[in-house]
Structure 1
Amino acid sequence: MDVLRLTLRQLQIFVAVARSGSTTAASAEIALSQSATSSAVNELERLLSLRLFDRAGKRLLLNDNGRALLPRALALLDGAAGIEQMSRDGSAQAQSLRIGASTTIGNYVLPKLLAGFMGHSSPAAPPPGGRRSLSGTPPPSAMP
């Protein structure tokens, strides 16, 4: 597999320029200088060996190559945002453990085992950014 040289930031800049039609307007949107925005677009075009915009004065208009790239760039950026969201809400590391036990085991053995599960030094510790929760439910025979 070849080493990828494209960055998500380059694609983000490309999308901003495509939407705004100028590096000046895009630079304000993405908090970069106009020259850094212009350089990023030029570098992306160089890496792809494709012109993505037709230049008309200070306006940048998507050409056929740019129109072909835009939906793919948007999909990649959406995917990356989804990965970031997944890591923020912990869904990537959600763990579930369901245990059934008699009253004796539940009162005398499980507390020590669960303390290890809930502790950060146990082998069952969640990965960084992971989370744990513990809830108890009475056995069916104790329910009305």
Structure 2
Amino acid sequence: MTLLVDCLPAFFLAFKVVLWFVQAGSITRCHNWTDEMLDALAVLLWSAVEFVLVVTAKWLVPRLSLGRWRAESLDGSEGRVHGPAGALSFRRDGKRVLTPTGLLFVGVAFYALVGLAAAGLAALTESG
């Protein structure tokens, strides 16, 4: 449950961006409003993809590191207080802590490895 609560701000941010497009009037004022709507839809879609990547990494990191690493809360400011600017991870209380940006990289790397493994398995089954 806490994982869901930690990740809700990402969805709220995407929703706010779409509302901003509508409230700013750029969608109705523009003669080609489909471009603006597609941009808003792309932002919403990317937010969902980013949510999946970060949640996957947030679940994987403590398990693969056997508890030596942990993930920072997505709406927390722990990284700003204890880590250097722009850091992907930092050390605190003897544990490596991954920031949300670091979690995004871990999620992308995980799904890239899953994709490569699936492609390799498909190539093996096809040749055999």
Higher RCO, 1 vs 2 (CA within 8 Å, ≥6 residues apart): 2
Which has the larger helix fraction?
Answer: 2
Larger Rg: 1
